[in-house]
Amino acid sequence: MPRYEYRCTACEKVSTIYHPSCEVETVCPKCDSGSTLIKLLTRFATSTRRTANKKAGTLTEEFIEDSKRELRQQRDKLEKER
């Protein structure tokens, strides 16, 4: 699921929100204000690893592990903000 960053005009907090690309978030997860989120431009990550000799299953497992690691980091960051 794609990751998007939004800034709330009410509380000025930046939030990372996962949602399908066909949806747009409007309620701030930090202060619950409605229609106050502004979608921010963000860069996307790419991998420069050589993949020519790797099997699809290996690539999928690496992607899953990378995603888990990123989610743990984001969870830890959110817990620190609370």
**8 and 39 in one domain?**
yes
**54 and 80 in one domain?**
yes
Domain encompassing residue 79:
49-82
**64 and 31 in one domain?**
no
Rounded Cα–Cα distance for residues 75 and 73 (Å) = 5
3-state DSSP percent of the chain in helix, strand and coil, to 5: 30, 20, 50
- Enter the pTM of the model: 0.51
**24 and 58 in one domain?**
no
- The confidence score (pLDDT) of residue 10 equals 92
Express as a percent the part of the chain with pLDDT over 70. Answer: 85
User: Which CATH number characterizes residue 29's domain?
Assistant: 2.20.28
Element (H, E) at 3: strand 3-8
- The confidence score (pLDDT) of residue 53 equals 66
**40 and 57 in one domain?**
no
Q: Model confidence over 25-76: pLDDT tens digits?
A: 889 999 998 888 998 887 666 555 555 666 778 878 888 898 999 999 989 8
